[in-house]
Structure 1
Amino acid sequence: MSEVDRRPSVPDRVRRTWLAWVGVALLALVLGATLVAQRMTDSTGLWWALLAGVVAVALLAYVRLLLDRNRPVDAGEGSALPPARYATFGLANALTTGRGLLLAVLAGLFAVPNPGWLPALLYGSVVLLDVLDGPVARARDRTSVLGTRLDTAVDAAGLLVAGGLGVALGTLPVWFLAVGAARYCYVAGLWWRRRRGLHVGTLPPSRVRRPLAALQMVVTAAALAPVVGPPVTTLVATVAMTPFVVGFSLDYRAVTSRDVKQSAAQRPV
């Protein structure tokens, strides 16, 4: 297994790597805003930096929150020792963080009129890198709690940002926003149930969950390319999103079904 560290705090190398990513993000924001301002207007450059900065800050704050979970999924279970964290950030986590920063650049394009091929190229890169980070982690024996959660978060944010941009550009129908909102509504619903003390079960495995999510990414990336527009993209997006949204509804019912059965059994005849 890769080198691990059992000290109770986040390893220094991991912390320094996170700070390096902060520096990369700041540099990208400055360069991006300058480039947009030169090609467009100063106001457009500032708006690009603001929108991209919001996503970058959210991403890096989430990574910082997860740094102490840069460990194998089962690390520390059944042991009195501190959890065994990886001593380095890891290549797979770096790929996922890079995907998140590409999403920040993409979010800034909400402020740019007629962005051309940029949205498709940026989000297409995010999708392609998503194919790599998981296999890289497994090949290097570096699957981690941080990596799993960060990958899920970047996937969800990507559908929200890219789908929203597609709607703003007129290449995706407004109801496609449900794809980007689906996971956030699902998580919010489970959080609310836990807060009220209601049952939240374990999500059963599914062979179609991941392929359906990948389909949404591919459709979104294709719709962002200035090649084909409505009504073709509207039809394709609607057909693709339907099983995805229905799947989230079924997943929510699956993890909350015990209360449904109990409430039905407790109803007066």
Structure 2
Amino acid sequence: MLVALGLLLAGLAWLMGAGPLSLMAATGAILAYTLLALLLLRAWSAPSGGFGWPNRVTLVRALPACVLAGALMQPELYREHGTLLAGLAVAALLLDGLDGWLARRLDAATAFGARFDMELDAALILVLCLGLALSGKVGAWVLAIGLMRYAFVAAGYWEPRLQQALPDSHRRKAVCVWQVLALLACLPGFVSGSLATGLAASALLALTVSFGLDVRWLVRRVR
């Protein structure tokens, strides 16, 4: 975790030296990393194998997500340097899957690791939605994409049937990939607001249909 913090600080120093990142945004990134570290320390119980390489890869993947979260404190970054921020998000996306592959390869898959990976994906999607909304490139309705998963989890406390485990689904995975790719495609400055709106709307539509199918399956399973 300390090594990851060092990498984050080095990356922030480079971005600040390059010009676009302000001290406020860098502070926001450090605060995002600190919150992540606190949540990890609270959730993780040390197994015999330690933190493990798959979780380390996930933690490295969290670094660009923390920078993107910090940039929310300087929304003009999403308007003026969207291509750079999209590059950071792509870096996080390229590492997605490597942690799972390592977990299977090293026989180090854990419930904690799977949850860590899933929560990081959800947080990254919400951050991208916030960035697009704060920049004004897409309407505030784009937040529905990032908040839908959290609304589903919250609904599970009201309706226990929604807390059941869902089977693996290629449809669900494809929708997840599309919403991330669509949000990434909205970021670059050369992408117009109308095109970004269309891309985000397609992601929201696909996500709504996917969640609707899952909710129907869960409700029908137990009556």
TM-score bin (small chain)? 0.7 to 0.9
Listed as ranges, the gaps of 5+ residues in structure 1 are 1-20, 71-84, 262-269
Relative to structure 1, the CA distance from residue 249 to residue 22 in structure 2 (aligned partners, 3 Å threshold; closer, same or farther) is: farther
Relative to structure 1, the CA distance from residue 240 to residue 89 in structure 2 (aligned partners, 3 Å threshold; closer, same or farther) is: same
Relative to structure 1, the CA distance from residue 191 to residue 60 in structure 2 (aligned partners, 3 Å threshold; closer, same or farther) is: farther
Q: What do the CA deviations read for 1:3-43 (whole angstroms, capped 9, x no partner)?
A: xxxxxxxxxxxxxxxxxx146426735872796389479xx
- For residues 138 and 166 of structure 1, what CA distance do their matches in structure 2 show? 35
User: SS where residue 109 of structure 2 aligns?
Assistant: coil
Residue in 2 that maps onto 1:25: 5
Relative to structure 1, the CA distance from residue 242 to residue 35 in structure 2 (aligned partners, 3 Å threshold; closer, same or farther) is: closer
Residue in 2 that maps onto 1:249: 212
Residue in 2 that maps onto 1:106: 68
1:127 Cα deviation from its structure 2 partner: 1.0
| Structure richer in helix, relative to its length | 2
Relative to structure 1, the CA distance from residue 246 to residue 67 in structure 2 (aligned partners, 3 Å threshold; closer, same or farther) is: same
Task: Give the counterpart letter for 2:86 in structure 1.
Answer: A
Task: Give the counterpart letter for 2:122 in structure 1.
Answer: A
Task: Give the counterpart letter for 2:212 in structure 1.
Answer: S
Q: What do the CA deviations read for 1:40-67 (whole angstroms, capped 9, x no partner)?
A: 79xx41x214422332123212222332
- For residues 15 and 162 of structure 2, what CA distance do their matches in structure 1 show? 51
1:225 aligns to 2:182 (yes or no): no
- For residues 93 and 203 of structure 1, what CA distance do their matches in structure 2 show? 23
Relative to structure 1, the CA distance from residue 249 to residue 29 in structure 2 (aligned partners, 3 Å threshold; closer, same or farther) is: farther
1:134 aligns to 2:100 (yes or no): yes
Task: Give the counterpart letter for 1:219 in structure 2.
Answer: A
1:237 aligns to 2:207 (yes or no): no
Residue in 1 that maps onto 2:42: 65
Residue in 2 that maps onto 1:117: 83
Q: Contact 2:89/2:184 (CA < 8 Å) preserved in 1? A: yes
- For residues 162 and 113 of structure 2, what CA distance do their matches in structure 1 show? 27
Q: Contact 1:103/1:123 (CA < 8 Å) preserved in 2? A: yes
Identical columns (%): 30
Structure number with larger C-alpha Rg:
1
1:53 counterpart (30, 49, 52): 30
Relative to structure 1, the CA distance from residue 241 to residue 86 in structure 2 (aligned partners, 3 Å threshold; closer, same or farther) is: farther
1:92 Cα deviation from its structure 2 partner: 1.6
- For residues 158 and 255 of structure 1, what CA distance do their matches in structure 2 show? 26
1:152 Cα deviation from its structure 2 partner: 0.3
Q: Contact 2:81/2:189 (CA < 8 Å) preserved in 1? A: no
- For residues 31 and 124 of structure 1, what CA distance do their matches in structure 2 show? 16
- For residues 26 and 162 of structure 2, what CA distance do their matches in structure 1 show? 43
TM-score normalised to the size of structure 2?
0.83
Task: Give the counterpart letter for 2:151 in structure 1.
Answer: C
Task: Give the counterpart letter for 2:12 in structure 1.
Answer: G
Residue in 1 that maps onto 2:131: 165
Residue in 1 that maps onto 2:119: 153
Q: Contact 2:145/2:203 (CA < 8 Å) preserved in 1? A: no
User: SS where residue 203 of structure 1 aligns?
Assistant: coil
- For residues 217 and 31 of structure 1, what CA distance do their matches in structure 2 show? 23
1:205 aligns to 2:168 (yes or no): yes
- For residues 29 and 89 of structure 2, what CA distance do their matches in structure 1 show? 14
Listed as ranges, the gaps of 5+ residues in structure 2 are none
Residue in 2 that maps onto 1:190: 156
